[in-house]
Homo-oligomer: A and B are copies of this chain.
Amino acid sequence: MAQKREPIEYADASPEVRAVYDDIMATRKIDWVNNFWKVLAHDPPTLRRIWSNIKDVMGPGALDPLVKEMIYVAVSASNGCRYCIASHGAAARHKGMTEAQYSEMLAIVGLANETNRLVTALDVAVDDRFR
């Protein structure tokens, strides 16, 4: 009983799925679609919904596009999602992230995970000045 969903290539995709693939490529100005979308394509409504969310959240806004990608990578590194680190790490590099910036971001991710546990275990009360 096969469980693993294989990526659906453009050539094999339904018009509904192709429309999302086309929008991904147009929005990102690239000529290919990465595996995440090709696997989500088995469930077209989720494919459309997640792409629409990514477009909204990761599109132009109050934060610099590179900063947004780095926050995405930071959370993915904290959660241990290798694919997400690889794909959003590539996007961040494409937007100009240097290796020194990547190292510095990982150092923050590591340290935050350390202090988060100390704070929780010691049940530190929020200072009045922070409220």
Are A115 and B80 in contact (CB-based, < 8 A)? no
Interface residues as binary, A117-131 with B (CB distance below 8 Å gives 1, 0 otherwise): 111111111110111
Q: A53-B111, A56-B45, A131-B3 are in contact. Are A126 and B79 (CB under 8 A)?
A: no
Interface residues as binary, A96-131 with B (CB distance below 8 Å gives 1, 0 otherwise): 001111011111111111111111111111110111
Are A108 and B71 in contact (CB-based, < 8 A)? yes
Are A93 and B1 in contact (CB-based, < 8 A)? yes
10 pairs of residues in contact across A and B, judged by CB atoms under 8 Å: A2-B131, A3-B131, A71-B109, A75-B75, A75-B112, A82-B126, A83-B125, A87-B130, A110-B118, A113-B116
* 5 nearest A-B pairs in the assembled complex, by CB-CB distance: A77-B121, A43-B103, A114-B114, A62-B100, A75-B112
